[in-house]
Structure 1
Amino acid sequence: MKNVIVIIFLILLNQLLLGQKTLKYNADMKSFTDKGILASKDRFTGTVWINMNVLPEDGYNSNVGTVTFEPRARTNWHSHKSGQVLFVIEGTGYYQIDGQPIRVMNEGDVVKIPKNARHWHGASHNSKMRHIAIVTDYDQDKTEWFQPVTNAEYDKFRAPVYEVENRLSVRAIKNYEELWPEYPSNEKEMDPDLAEIFLNFAYDEVINNNPMDVKIRTMVIMASTLGSQALSEFKMFVNAALNIGVTPVQIKEVIYQSVPYIGKAKVKDFLDATNGIFIERDIKLPLQSQTTTNPETRFEKGYAKQREVIGDRIEELYKNSPEDLIHIQKFLSDNCFGDYITRSGLDIKTRELITLSFLISLGGTESQIKGHIQGNKNVGNSRQDLVNLMTNLLPYVGYPRTLNAINCLNEILPYKKNDNTDIKAN
């Protein structure tokens, strides 16, 4: 970055010496890192920001601007009579001179566009790109703008590795883009075979065979990534949840509820990541409290909520507990249920589905899975609801844990015809 700034300074100094007589001194300082204003759609495709740093009317015979391209955004075909120099200061992009192959430009590159060369430049498929664009000898320059760069022209660079998109089903593309509209997938580029297999399976075959309300489905998968400690995938699903209208409160409640099931130590990084996403999206923190108990009521309300989920068995648990372990039963009532499950923000049916998702993804929790399969039934979730849940978790937790959960389901809620109630997000 320092070298770029030095080069830019030398160029501007040269222009200053050539045009000293017309220099209009302006003491104001301006940041070249600001995004600036949205660029005109007439000359750009996608989201582009322009910050004009130096203009001819400032007294320099130059036009200098910082241009920020979001992934896939680019200029139209155009030319500069005086040529153009690009200093790439962030990300990865493409540029192409008419009649030549597309070339990649990375942070730190200096690209010299010849005079009158018809060309375009912009961000790559998977990365935003920011460059400083300089046109010198501005008094002799003439910029001509031509037609937009078509998707076919732009995609020529990636066609060999992005053929996977042509092999994705219409349903897979629709269901994927519902969660992440226009999200650039590195997996499609780096591992196209796996992307084709996984996306067609998870976003077409699974969803079509066992449909769930999209908000519920997204939250339970997000919960499973917590249980699996899959931070990268978790962040994807936090963004997906926000994209489809899951509220920040609902997202935070899933995370808070994970604490008694997987432990605070394993939740900390996920909570920090969520707060980072919220800040990026201008979601004000902290969120409104969803607490419904206090130190005096947490045991009573927790015990009542626990009874709602597990039924009269709660009395046997207390009665049969060894004296030196009775405190664990009390912790389950006042802490697990009283501090967490009684909170508002999610209804009890959704909370039980989320709890089951934690347990399935953790592995080795068959006893608890059986208990919460019964708990799901007690709060109104059907066997079909749980089959749908387990099926939609399958691509993310794998077959062994899914089959173990199904064995538990068959033991607690054996199959009966017409048990096909759908669930909706509340």
Structure 2
Amino acid sequence: MTIVAVAKKAREASRRVADLPGSVRNAVLLDLADRIAGRETEILTANSEDMKAAEAAGVDAPKLKRLKLTPEGLRQMREGLRQIAGLPDPVGQVTRSYTVPSGLKVEKVRTPLGVIAMIYEARPGVTIDAFALCFKAGNACLLKGGKEADRSNRLLASIARESLDANGAPADAMHAITSSDREELKTMLTLSDDIDLVIPRGGAGLIRFVHEHSRIPTIQHFHGVCHVFVDKGADLEKALEIVATGKTSAPATCNTTECVLVHKDVAEAFLPRLIERAGKDGVEIRGDESFVGAAKGAAHVRSATDADWGTEYLDLILAARVVDSFDDAVAHIGRYSSGHTEAIVTEDNATAEDFCRRVRSSCVLVNASTRFNDGFQLGLGAEIGISTSRIHAYGPMGLEGLTIERFVVRGDGQTR
């Protein structure tokens, strides 16, 4: 079946999905969780074959880590499905209600987007997460995963379609696009009559490709060049833990801390402590002259180059720089940030508020790790990704981000 035909089937299915009762949508997700539990061995076998092929192809370590499925990962996948099923249904939610002078009663009501195409790299778990969120929000979806996860994605998609069919929902509400043909992907990105939104989630090359070829509205889930600024008013104990764990707790994620900026007034006290902690944690620091000087020849500290500022390492590497002032920190972030996540560590409330006002990334934190820019951690229940596009959804995209608001107006014969 061609991608054009697949998109048309998804469009037809989207109309049925939008009309399904929330109870049916929830039943599909709960059924899918049970089916994944029953076929765990089969899923892990398919994933093992993907891993072997990826290793043989020389895929790098961070991508291999994202590709791998484990029994614990599948348990979390099942739990995620159950949690999404338990979330409030966004479809039909009235977000605002008022009466205008003409007597018209106006409501803003959430409604499904329609058909969502998501393009992502070696993350087979996204196949289930994305389907669950799109479907719960009343949408059909086309999911284009990376070729490295081909076997895993095919199997997970087929299980999802089984759950749809078993519960009286259209199986065409979920399609996994497994072709690695770039020309087919280009064609998909032109199908504006049948696809309402494209969400690319991956590296800079993928984002750029979609941006250049899509005729469909696009929300970018770009790379995370996340900064922590240790202000002169910082509690240095807090700062040390926020920076260190922001890098080490999950270095291959988009919300990991990639760069630390330290105010010159606390550099003498803070740099030796951070350098020592990084050595214990196995973190390489790529620092400016101040960091290199403070390292006193430590092997894990090396001089940064211009290329290090603005780099998403997804590894145990941390860019580090001393800045002369708050304004210099904000300027550095403005130049090198990807608009994902930035944090300030300070006990000065006025400085914290100024930082939140001037830094326009999708999530700005005060005295907390960049790792908290996550849908679950921020109370959304789950997320399809973190939008770095400044449109209707900015930051973690939960169920509400997969709907739009429209006007429903009730009158009593008013004319104009």
State if a TM-score over 0.5 links the two structures: no
Classify the TM-score, shorter chain: under 0.3
Q: TM-score when scaled to structure 1?
A: 0.23
**Structure with greater proportional strand content:** 2
Higher relative contact order (CA closer than 8 Å, sequence separation 6+): 2
**Structure with greater proportional helix content:** 1
Q: TM-score when scaled to structure 2?
A: 0.23
Greater C-alpha radius of gyration: 1
